[in-house]
Amino acid sequence: MYKHAWKRLGKYVVLLLAVFVLLATAAPAELLAADPPHDAELRNALGPNDIVIDNTDSGVTRSGSWSTGTSNPGKYFGANYEFVNGAQGQNQTIRYNPTLPQAGVYEVYIVFSSSSNRADNVTVQVSHQGGITTQTVNQKKNGGVWYPLGTFSFAAGSSGYVRINSAGTNGYVMADAVRFAVPVPDPENPGPLAVNDPLGPIIFRSGFEPGSAGVASPSDSGLITRITGTDNSVSVPNNWTTHLDGYSKFGELVFEYHSGGDNSAARYARIVNDPTPGGSGNKVLQYWLGSSGGTADRGRVQALLRNNTNLTEVFYKFRMYLHPDIELVKESADPNGWFTLAEFWNQPSWTTGAQYPFRISLNLTKELGVGKPFKFRVSGQTTPTSGGEDTEEFTTLWEEKNHWNVPTGTWLEGELYYKQGNAGTGRFYFAIAPEGGEKRAVFDITNWTYHPQNPAPAGLTHFHPFKLYTSRSLTNFVKDRGGALQVYWDDIQFWPSMAPDAALRNALGPGDIVVDNSDSGAVKTGTWSAGTSNPGKFYGSNYHYVNNGTGQTVRYTPNIPTAGTYRVYVTFTGAANRSNSVPYTIYHNGQTHTATVNQRITSYHKKWYPIGEYSFSAGTGNYVQINTAGTSGYVIADAVRFEPL
Summarised one tens digit per residue, pLDDT across range 576-633 is: 999 999 999 999 999 999 999 999 999 998 999 999 999 999 999 999 999 999 999 9
Summarised one tens digit per residue, pLDDT across range 198-252 is: 998 999 999 999 999 999 999 899 999 999 999 999 999 999 999 999 999 999 9
Q: Is the pLDDT of residue 343 over 70?
A: yes
- Give the model's pLDDT for residue 188: 87
Sheet strand arrangement including 161-165: 60-63, 93-96, 161-165, 122-128, 131-137
User: What pairs with residue 163 in β-bridges?
Assistant: 95, 125
Q: How far is CA 391 from CA 348, 365, 385, 490, 597, in A?
A: 11, 20, 9, 31, 62
Summarised one tens digit per residue, pLDDT across range 286-340 is: 999 998 766 678 899 999 999 999 999 999 999 999 999 999 999 999 998 789 9
Distance CA 381, CA 191 (A): 24
Strand (E) or helix (H) holding 116: none
Whole-model pTM? Answer: 0.84
Summarised one tens digit per residue, pLDDT across range 168-181 is: 999 999 999 999 99
**CATH 1.10.10.10 corresponds to the domain 37-181:** no
- Give the model's pLDDT for residue 146: 97
Residue 568 phi, psi dihedral angles, 5° rounding: -105, 135
> What average pLDDT does the chain have?
91
Contact 220, 266 (CB under 8 A): no
- Give the model's pLDDT for residue 16: 39
- Give the model's pLDDT for residue 338: 86
- Give the model's pLDDT for residue 90: 81
- Give the model's pLDDT for residue 337: 78
| Residue 259: pLDDT band with limits 50, 70, 90 | low
CATH topology identical between 37-181 and 513-644: yes
User: Which of 497, 498, 530, 503 has its CA nearest to residue 604?
Assistant: 503
- Give the model's pLDDT for residue 502: 95
- Give the model's pLDDT for residue 54: 97
Distance CA 276, CA 614 (A): 54
Q: Is the pLDDT of residue 103 over 90?
A: yes
Summarised one tens digit per residue, pLDDT across range 137-147 is: 999 999 999 99
- Give the model's pLDDT for residue 435: 85
Residue with the larger pLDDT of the pair 613 and 6: 613
User: Topology of domain 513-644, per CATH?
Assistant: Jelly Rolls (2.60.120)
| Residue 387: pLDDT band with limits 50, 70, 90 | low
Q: Is the pLDDT of residue 25 over 50?
A: no
- Alpha carbon dihedral 570, 571, 573, 579, in 10-degree steps, equals -10
CATH of domain 204-495: 2.60.120
Domain locations in the chain as residue ranges: 37-181, 204-495, 513-644
User: Which of 393, 402, 397, 493 has its CA nearest to residue 446?
Assistant: 397
